[in-house]
Structure 1
Amino acid sequence: MQAVIMAGGKGTRLHSITKNEIPKPLALINDRAILEWQIECLKANQISKIIIVTGHLGEKIEAHFGNGAGFGVDIDYYREVQPLGSAGALHYVKEWLTEDYFLLVYGDVLIDIDLIRMEQFHIEKQSMATLFVHPNSHPYDSDLVMADESQRVIGFDSKHNKRDYWYNNCVNAGLYILDSKICDLVNKEETVDLEKELLFPLVSKHSPIYAYSSPEYIKDVGTADRFSVASAELSNGFVAARNLKKKQKCIFLDRDGTINRHKGLISTVDDFELEDCAIEAIKKINRSGYLAIVITNQPVVARGLCDISEVITIHNKMQTLLGEHGAILDDILFCPHHPDKGFPEENILYKIPCNCRKPGLGMIESCVNKYNIDLAASWIIGDTTIDIQTGTNAGMHTALVLTGEAGKDMKYDVQSDLTGSNLLEAVEIILTREDELLNGLSGRH
């Protein structure tokens, strides 16, 4: 791919750092300009041909990077005489585009991403535009992307809209792979908003626009507070560790009786209620570097008590409630099947044996492939022996919580590696053990 970096903004929100003496993309974060971090990521993903769109103080960017040879890349520049919005410059840069598609990134975004994975997704979906999306800690004031089960974008919900529904925490992160033909939709000297004036109309015309979801690091560092947070996360290794080229560690979470209160088979959204400690527990996982992924058996579908869409609504409620307090689930997988037949209202389509139903490993194997997870470094937390057996089958560490069924289901004769009174205590024990292990290793050197 080629890359286009939009680096023409004034950066008024970052004035305390730039003091209007340098353009925002040249602000130093851990002794390197934001743009340098971006270019390093592009190089690591075999992207060496870069077009930088400059504007305010753009001559300083051009002087810093030159033709890019000193940074191992090839850079061309387009200087906006007047601001053209987030996509107006695409009319002018298209003459430099030699491939069918290109990467678009904004100059105030810190990234460390396996872009080759995203590119493969774009190709497989035959996408016209692929949006990098992720759950974030403040979905309530973020623009949301709505996608179907194939990840095809079907709509957007502005942060300015009143939300009176349970929603999926799926936020547009500001990184795109775009078909070069999209540039033809932009007219000369036209100020264009990429999302509102290009992507929204394309979605409404049912064009193939897709959402690529990933837990990798991408952060808008356009404010002093975000700049400071990103600096700390660079220093402690959190940024680099999230890149999916590197093995990930994960805490897999059961749902009923672990995250939410046990009420038998939950088939309506009104029955879903978080455990008191769930929010703080998941926030601790988020800060730790572990992924937080829910894997749950939901035989309510096979039993005919509700359909797939109702389970998704319940999960949207879970994400909304967690997101209101800054807690993030990196993914949610559920098995709708059940092998036993004989219930009068059952849905025969889902009354089948499968590999995804715990203690089968289908859901876990899917996550391993998608997120490059190291199971030997990962955990599963649940309230039943089914969860513990799942972890044992997968070669993971296991933790039982004494909420929900508290291991009294007696389905399997297994012993967990640890027991916590609830999810928060189990997470705290896991993280304490990890700290002790790391401190022990550092003490040997």
Structure 2
Amino acid sequence: MSQAVLDTEAAAARNMDLLRFATAGSVDDGKSTLIGRLLYDTKSLFSDQLEAVEAVSAARGDEYTNLALLTDGLRAEREQGITIDVAYRYFATPRRKFIIADTPGHIQYTRNMVTGASTADLALILVDARKGLVEQSRRHAFLTSLLRVPHLVLCVNKMDLVGWDKEVYDRIADEFTSFAAKLDITDLTIIPISALEGDNIASRSEKSPWYEGPSLLHHLEHVHIASDRNLVDVRFPVQYVIRPQSTTVTDYRGYAGQVASGVLKPGDDVMVLPSGMTSKIAAIDTADGPVDEAFPPMSVTVRLADEIDISRGDMLCRPHNAPAVAQDIEAMVCWMDETAPLRVGGKYTIKHTTRTARTVVRGLQYKLDVNTLHRDEGAPQLGLNEIGRVRLRTTLPLLADEYRRNRTTGGFILIDETTNRTVGAGMIIEAA
């Protein structure tokens, strides 16, 4: 094969659309088996991987190849038959590339589910057809809504164990649709599947002639995600200032970072926050050379027409379309620390885009019961995996948008100052 053909194929692979999706559900709903089935059906496994899984399955006395072993990589996971950590897996089809976050089903690992779904374009929730909707199903649907994941797929798994009974599927679908109506879910698809036997995974199954929708893989390949990105509000958090220490390049000053939202083009007017200085984009550089435009999630270096004092943590935006420059923040916070709860008066480090500051908890308005959506307005603290509405005051102004408008500039993490551990993840409701 010629080098030109190889280069063309490599360029096509680089430009292929990427879908990030997270799996969620209760224990033993078959998440790991489903991911193993997707990897198997898309021929994304090496022969030695498959042989190793077949050998372990035989040694355990399984009558089938246990595809769940492909994702449960930790020894504790294999021994207990549960998923503990977030496992990331990668595969591709001729139409699209995929990154899967296999998140745990146990209630004590809710924080792991939040981590896995925070960057997802689509959430895939599994339900055991024999059990129907359980507490964790509703919990994960609510978290999907809270994290503003644009697309949700409910897979009614293990349909083979209920004889592909349409009434069972309809009952679960109706119950979930009613619950989802209370949440902010914009795109919901429900698919009956058998992850173990591969029905309705890569192709439509003859066992469910009453189901007229797509197979799971067809839906993943064709779900439209381009319009999910915010291409209106230009937000470019500066990560690093590039000044080459070279004798041949003496006047280069570029600002490197990842485009959070909007479209940047040479000649565009931009404003630098928090200073408020304005300039024009002179050029946009990438590792492959200059480009005519930059959009999320591209990582680029922006050069400006004027010399302005810009450093890490600053942000480029449009002069008449800027985020809030705020030190008082109201946010929904998911608490992730098992050693100490979040309390009013607690002090933490806050990491928001490329800006880091210190913050104090000024108030806890309510704690949310994610199963009933009830608000406990008298809660004194947030414990592990609990979610509540919190008021924060920061030492430096954050350049923030509402999370519902921009997931990148609307999200942050809280860090314990003594242990340097991430203890909370937040979604901004209001920045004042």
Normalising by structure 2, report the TM-score: 0.30
Higher helix proportion: 1
Normalising by structure 1, report the TM-score: 0.30
